Amino acid sequence: MADHDSTTRPLNFIEQIVEADNASGKWGGRVHTRFPPEPNGYLHIGHAKSICLNYGLAKNYGGKFNLRFDDTNPAKEEQEYVDAIKEDVLWLGADFRPNSPHGGGLFLASDYFEQMYSFALELIRKGKAYVCDLSAEEVAARRGKPGIPATSPFRDRPTEESLRLIAEMKDGRHPNGSKSVRARIDLASPNFNLRDPVMYRILHESHHNTGTKWCIYPMYDWAHGFEDSLEGITHSICTLEFEDHRPLYDWFINAVNEGRTPDGSGPYGKIIHHAQQIEFAKFRPTYTVLSKRNLLKMVTDGVVKGWDDPRMPTIRGMRRRGYTPESIRTLMEEVGVTKVESFIDIGRLENAIRNDLNKKAPRRMAVLRPLKVVIENYPDNQVEHFDAQNNPEDPAAGTRKVPFSKVLYIERDDFMENPPKKFFRLAPGTEVRFRWAYFLKCTGVVKNDAGEVVEVRCTYDPATKGGDAPDGRKVKGTIHWVSAAHAIDAEVRLFDRLFTAEEPGKRTGNYMDDLNPNSLEVVHAKLEPSLAGSPGGASYQFERMGYFHVDQDSTPAHLVFNRTVTLKDTWAKVASQG
RNA sequence: UGGCCGAUGGUGUAACGGUAGCACAGCAGAUUUUGGUUCUGUUUGUCCAGGUUCGAAUCCUGGUCGGCCAGCCA
């Protein structure tokens, strides 16, 4: 039976359908889902919901999950995307490979072209499809309106003639757009999808899988139901905008099945499988865009540096930024599955990765915007090594040594010459704890000609070694630091939201108008020496600053970190409220 | 304008004719060598109008608002 990750969560409406089907024996207890992307772009966080949903169903109900490329339009599709999508789906943990527990396999819609073509011939013979000579423009012009039927002068073309013409189309004897194959359904249907939809268009175009074999290519609506049918998909899950298409898929399958029998006797053979389509609402985060067209434009316009720019909502972008598959899966579990179109606060994504990394990421000290501190009463050439906990959430993570000396760097924001009330950090006359080291008291500052503080002077209390005062006195603040002589340099990329509006483009109609000009800030940070040689892909918490991920650009000689997300910052909130 | 779909706190989501619950965010407090984490408490909700019923978020009717559809895209 069901084996849910979170046993307490109530069933979503699709799980309820699956359980009802299992109870009624509709599919013999079988659950077989699929993720059917078109290989014409990179996957984004919206796709992740579909992947998690489909794979999760297969996993929780002991079923199978297929990855299937819906590659019916060679004009838009490329092998590069096929490879990238496979990688991203696997990274998310949805293992479609046949040797994995829930892997149903990898499929290409284009491998079914021959079978689909024979279904098309069957429909023509049954009088349910015909070849139409109208151009795309003419079809559009004759589409009709609500209440006004569409028209086609070729609707009653004799079967034999349609059969001959579709063969000619297939053989490449007709130019692009000169003819199409249409289903004979209902030119007056209030559902425009049923007004004799096009099944095949002529496209003299090379296909990433079938090469130049075909000159006609099936339309999505014609193809999709058969893809599910041929793979034995039980629950064909898609997004809301395809609800209007469901009657069409059903019509196609039923049309093929007309005259077919369960045992295959009769002129047409065996009944083919008819999957149940279920529609759910997309995942739409605030403060970003998701459509391939819009994402592509940001890449080509150079607004971002590529599909894998850490600011992009693509799987690759999020991965590079430091998001984990677990955090994305948990998020999808939390937001649920419904038919209600809604926005997901982007804060939920940030929260999801914080929660995950809080448990896993080793703590380190790194100063993003350095300010020099000199300890007046600390011996000039002395160096001490303090034990620092790697992760307070996980004592088993152990400790490391951090060097301490007379000259340190602290965060610029951790010092204020004229601090407001409730500022618990360093200021003239105040005492704070330098994490894992000593209590330090600020005795003065050094300024440059412009009047800016360039150095903070302090004294330390040797009795507070390790960070505790034997006399029991308390300090309000604890700040991070690095020893100037031991610090290593790193480039740190601080990312912010790509857009400043919840719904980019809502205001002016152009989403580019809402771009956040400050979505990337690069700083040159000082890190504690244990971070030297950090391996690519590692994630750390820089204490008090956030979670940081070693970028693919990073080398031992030039470390590069991406800020995945900041820590929650109560002080920032207080400070901004004045 | 025709068809399809939807509407529950700020956000997301439960309830399947019988006490409107959970999560996130917010707020308040406790703990804390990260203004992090954790813990406790807490503010806030059934689109509207009728009807059925002992009883309606749930069923019915009408309306309002929102989304989708009129590609030889998927």
Model pLDDT for residues A226-253, shown as the tens digit of each residue: 999 999 999 999 999 999 999 999 999 9
Contacts of A306 (CB under 8 A, 6+ apart): A299, A312
Contact flag, residue A204 CB and nucleic strand B, below 7 A: no
* Rounded CA separation A413/A70 (Å): 52
Query: Under a CB-based contact definition with an 8 Å cutoff, are residues A562 and A548 in contact?
Result: yes
Contact flag, residue A341 CB and nucleic strand B, below 7 A: yes
Query: Under a CB-based contact definition with an 8 Å cutoff, are residues A226 and A112 in contact?
Result: yes
| Interatomic distance A219 CA / B73 C1' (Å) | 9
Q: 3-class SS at A485?
A: coil
Q: How confident is the model at residue A5 (pLDDT cuts 50, 70, 90)?
A: very low
Report strand pairing: A520-527 vs A488-495.
antiparallel
The mean pLDDT value for A197-221 works out to 98
The mean pLDDT value for A489-500 works out to 97
Contact flag, residue A242 CB and nucleic strand B, below 7 A: yes
> Looking at A100-250, which runs of residues are DSSP E strands?
103-108, 129-132, 180-183, 198-202, 216-218, 235-239
Contact flag, residue A422 CB and nucleic strand B, below 7 A: yes
Q: Determine what percent of chain A is predicted with pLDDT higher than 70.
A: 98
pLDDT at site A560: 98
Tell me phi and psi for residue A60, to 5 degrees: -70, -25
CA atoms within 13 A on the CB side of A10: 5
Is the per-residue pLDDT at A111 higher than 90?
yes
Is the per-residue pLDDT at A4 higher than 70?
no
| Interatomic distance A147 CA / B3 C1' (Å) | 10
pLDDT at site A401: 98
Q: Give, for A492, the enclosing helix (H) or strand (E).
A: strand A488-495
Nearest to A383 by CA among A290, A487, A285: A487
Closest nucleotide (C1' vs CA) to A144 is: B70
* Rounded CA separation A315/A35 (Å): 15
Contact flag, residue A191 CB and nucleic strand B, below 7 A: yes
Contacts of A449 (CB under 8 A, 6+ apart): none
* Rounded CA separation A151/A121 (Å): 23
Q: Residues 294-323, chain A: which have Cβ under 7 A from strand B?
A: none
Contact flag, residue A544 CB and nucleic strand B, below 7 A: yes
Closest nucleotide (C1' vs CA) to A70 is: B74
pLDDT at site A130: 98
pLDDT at site A530: 98
Measured N-to-C along each axis, helices A45-60 and A325-335 cross at an angle, to the nearest 10 degrees, of 80
CA atoms within 13 A on the CB side of A115: 16
Query: Under a CB-based contact definition with an 8 Å cutoff, are residues A211 and A113 in contact?
Result: no
Is the per-residue pLDDT at A532 higher than 90?
yes
Is the per-residue pLDDT at A497 higher than 50?
yes
Q: Residues 255-284, chain A: which have Cβ under 7 A from strand B?
A: 281
Is the per-residue pLDDT at A3 higher than 60?
no
Is the per-residue pLDDT at A577 higher than 90?
no
End-to-end CA distance of chain A: 56
pLDDT at site A274: 98
Gyration radius (Cα) of chain A, Å: 31
Contact flag, residue A153 CB and nucleic strand B, below 7 A: no
| Interatomic distance A196 CA / B69 C1' (Å) | 15
CA angle A409, A457, A386 (to 5 degrees): 45
Contact flag, residue A244 CB and nucleic strand B, below 7 A: yes
| Interatomic distance A429 CA / B57 C1' (Å) | 60
Closest nucleotide (C1' vs CA) to A279 is: B5
* Rounded CA separation A535/A529 (Å): 14
Closest nucleotide (C1' vs CA) to A422 is: B35
Contact flag, residue A5 CB and nucleic strand B, below 7 A: no
Closest nucleotide (C1' vs CA) to A69 is: B74
Query: Under a CB-based contact definition with an 8 Å cutoff, are residues A375 and A406 in contact?
Result: yes
Query: Under a CB-based contact definition with an 8 Å cutoff, are residues A447 and A454 in contact?
Result: yes
Cα of A482 vs its chain's centroid, Å = 35
What is the per-residue pLDDT across A12-26, written as a single tens digit (0 to 9) for each? 999 999 999 999 999
For residue A64, what are the β-bridge partners?
A32
* Rounded CA separation A239/A253 (Å): 20
pLDDT at site A6: 43
Range list of H helices, A448-559: none
| Interatomic distance A342 CA / B63 C1' (Å) | 23
Contact flag, residue A293 CB and nucleic strand B, below 7 A: no
pLDDT at site A198: 98
Q: Give, for A146, the enclosing helix (H) or strand (E).
A: none
Q: 3-class SS at A272?
A: coil
Q: What is the number of residues in chain A?
A: 578
Report strand pairing: A103-108 vs A64-69.
parallel
* Rounded CA separation A268/A401 (Å): 77
Contact flag, residue A50 CB and nucleic strand B, below 7 A: no
Q: How confident is the model at residue A1 (pLDDT cuts 50, 70, 90)?
A: very low
Nucleotides of B under 7 A from a protein CB: 1-8, 10-16, 21, 23-27, 33-38, 66-74
Q: How confident is the prediction for chain A on average, in pLDDT?
A: 96
Is the per-residue pLDDT at A7 higher than 70?
no
Lowest-confidence range among A225-234, A375-384, A490-499, A507-516? A507-516
The mean pLDDT value for A448-470 works out to 97
* Rounded CA separation A251/A185 (Å): 9
Closest nucleotide (C1' vs CA) to A143 is: B70
pLDDT at site A578: 61
CB atoms within 10 A of CB A387: 11
Query: Under a CB-based contact definition with an 8 Å cutoff, are residues A37 and A85 in contact?
Result: yes
Which residue's CA shows the smallest distance to C1' of B22? A9
Range list of H helices, A291-450: 292-300, 315-321, 325-335, 346-360
CA atoms within 13 A on the CB side of A539: 21
The mean pLDDT value for A37-66 works out to 98
CB atoms within 10 A of CB A53: 24
CA atoms within 13 A on the CB side of A545: 32
Token pair recorded at residue A391: 């992760």
Residue the block writes with tokens 């289903």: A183
The mean pLDDT value for A535-541 works out to 96
Is the per-residue pLDDT at A271 higher than 70?
yes
The mean pLDDT value for A259-277 works out to 96
Contact flag, residue A470 CB and nucleic strand B, below 7 A: no
Per residue in A198-217, is it b (16+ CB within 10 Å) or e — as a string? Answer: bbbbbbeeebbbbeeebbbb
Residue the block writes with tokens 């059903």: A250
pLDDT at site A304: 97
For residue A364, what are the β-bridge partners?
A542
The mean pLDDT value for A408-433 works out to 96
Contact flag, residue A330 CB and nucleic strand B, below 7 A: no
Token pair recorded at residue A343: 């926005």
Contact flag, residue A143 CB and nucleic strand B, below 7 A: yes
Closest nucleotide (C1' vs CA) to A220 is: B74
Residue type, A265: S
pLDDT at site A398: 97
pLDDT at site A306: 97
Nearest to A238 by CA among A421, A426, A33: A33
The mean pLDDT value for A504-531 works out to 95
The mean pLDDT value for A25-35 works out to 97
What is the per-residue pLDDT across A66-78, written as a single tens digit (0 to 9) for each? 999 999 999 999 9
Q: Give, for A336, the enclosing helix (H) or strand (E).
A: none
pLDDT at site A117: 98
